Structure 1
């Protein structure tokens, strides 16, 4: 590869398009670099420095062998400004789920763009789509669809066991709200497994903020004998904001759901004790249930909850 072309490829981070190369070298130089194995064509009119293309297995596309960052740059170069990363690829850019190397890149483009899917690249043609706000934002320096759209479109692409985590994290990190995702879902009436997504959104809107809280919502804190609880209630205590997992306000009882990872963590235990003592200054009783008990002793936990609430109701107003 000629020094001029090599310098251009280096300045462009190991990737060059035919249109950019044509500005500095003749077409024959580009063809010669490919023939000599110095450049590798990864998509139509998109070339990558061969040193950045690892050896692959039989049948694996060149695009699949690139690093995630280079793979996305190649796809965006192929779209030539007419596409934005979407679906599970967008979730990776948003920092909500690392996309495995064996998953194809997803790209949203206008319906009339003429851009086609390729090996390891899935192109979605969208009516009314434009690579501009409000459809697209720039994140980590690349165009990506809005988070709510990415969460909805990625739902059927993910294995069922992996679906809740990105949505729960997005809400917990305050990147979005259940209501905004509901609005995006309304624009996808034929989405696969749409009902399951609506159910999860309803639980998040009710205040559930973890898979364990969702388990508790479904199996422990609803049903016969259970009052209507509040979830993720914000309490001010001595100048601090404390959030309560499952709160029975009339009885002033906070039920905390401790995940499996907190078991045996001394530092977390100390934090919990300080927090519980702080809430006691507000007259709030904290009752903690471990992951194991919630999942394996569900009926016994339900009976304890009912008994605790009944006991608190029986207390005289002067005792509170």
Structure 2
């Protein structure tokens, strides 16, 4: 391979563009390397070192390189005019890994003439610009802002998989339900929009897991139930914890244990110490398992109402949880 071309590839992690090579080399050098199989053309004007591609000759060239290299190639294809978006952006935000065979997604302006191709989906947007607030740089990659990414990715995911990335993004304090709702307001024709709106309403109410959402919808609402405060911040023994559902007048904390909690002895020990510290402040902790909440919701509801009624009959001190 031409030594100058080799140096360009090495400096750029195995990727070159026709535009960059034209600055230092005759056009025939790039074409010769491509014809001889030393370079693989993955997109118009974008090439990678063929040694970095796998041997799946029937797959689209962009699908034959690593996800990171495919993303870099897609960004290079835009010439600085686009950003990674949709499912690809979710991976850059570290909220979901793209599955094998899923294409790379790009957002560009409607004024940009780029088109989709094998293993590449180009989304044209009005009022898009490859700069803040539309685009951020994360780990060196231009990516659509998180709230926009979450809304765009929603209809592309299987229904059962859709809530996970949004719940994680909110729990990790990367965004808020209201910011996502603002992005949703700009997408009136989004598929299954009502389901996303419902999820955001529950997250805004304080639910932070699928189990809490189940409880919110099926168990801990309705006649006799107090207006639970959700995810209440409490300082205990020098550390901050969050109470799943807190009935303030009754000083009852309802904790919803996930499906993996039962066999985790270390987590169980932490929970016991936490419950003891809350008990010292007059707070009764009531735990319901994942199994019971899903399979015995009526019984869980009756037990909760009975516990709350018994606590109302006795005056409660201030728990001082702040």
Fold agreement, TM-score > 0.5: yes
SS at match of 1:308: helix
How many Å apart are 1:261 and its aligned residue?
0.8
Provide the secondary structure at the position in 2 that maps to 1:70: helix
Match of 2:206 in 1: 207
Equivalent residues of 2:38, 2:49 under 8 A apart: yes
Aligned-pair CA distance for 1:284: 0.6
Match status 1:137 vs 2:136:
yes
1:57: how far off?
A: 6.2
| CA distance 1:30–1:57, shift in 2 (3 Å) | closer
Matching residue of 1:296: 295
In the other structure, the counterpart of 2:46 is 46
Distance 1:195 1:298 in 2: 25
Return the offset for 1:173.
Answer: 0.2
Q: Deviations over 1:76-128 (max 9, x none)?
A: 01000000011111111011111112111111101111111111111111111
* Contact kept? 2:251, 2:316, Cα under 8 Å: no
The structure-2 alpha-carbon separation of the partners of 1:280 and 1:317, relative to structure 1 and needing over 3 Å to count, comes to closer
Partner of 2:176: 177
- Give CA deviations for 1:200-237 in whole Å, capped at 9, x if unaligned: 00000000001111111111112333222110011233
- SS of equivalent residue, structure 1 residue 243: strand
2:245, 2:255 within 8 Å by CA — same for their partners in 1? Answer: yes
> Counterpart of 1:245?
244
Paired positions, count: 319
Aligned partners of 1:217, 1:143: CA distance in 2, in Å? 37
Distance 1:285 1:51 in 2: 63
Answer whether contact 2:250 2:316 (CA < 8 A) is retained: no
CA contact (8 A) 1:83 1:109 kept: yes
> Which structure 2 segments of 5+ residues have no match?
none
SS in structure 2 at match of 1:261: coil
1:280, 1:56 → 2: CA distance? 62
Which residue matches 1:194?
193
Whether the 8 Å CA contact 1:225–1:306 is kept in 2: the answer is yes
CA contact (8 A) 1:237 1:282 kept: no
Query: 2:65 is matched with which residue?
Result: 66
Task: Work out whether residues 253 and 286 of structure 2, in 8 Å CA contact, stay in contact via their aligned partners in 1.
Answer: yes
Which residue matches 1:37? 37
Q: Which residue of 2 aligns with 1:82?
A: 81
Is the contact made by 2:62 and 2:118 (CA closer than 8 Å) also made in structure 1?
A: yes
Greater shift, 236-245 or 121-130, is seen at 236-245
Offset from partner CA, 1:25-66 (integer Å, 9 cap, x none) = 2111111111111001100000111111102263x2110121
TM-score (norm 2): 0.96
> Which segment drifts farther, 121-130 or 1-10?
1-10
CA distance in 1, matches of 2:223, 2:314: 23
Q: What is aligned with 2:312?
A: 313
Distance 1:234 1:116 in 2: 49
- How far apart, in 2, do the equivalents of 1:317 and 1:246 lie? 17
Contact 1:219/1:298 (<8 A) preserved: yes
Change (3 A) 1:121 1:214: same
Q: Equivalences for 1:264-303 in 2 at 5 Å?
A: 264-303=263-302
**Retained in 1: the 8 A contact 2:62–2:70?**
yes
Q: Is the 8 A contact 2:251 2:282 kept in 1?
A: yes
Shift of 1:168: 0.2
Whether contact under 8 Å (1:109, 1:126) holds in the other structure is: yes
Structure 1 CA distance for aligned equivalents of residues 3 and 289 of structure 2 = 65
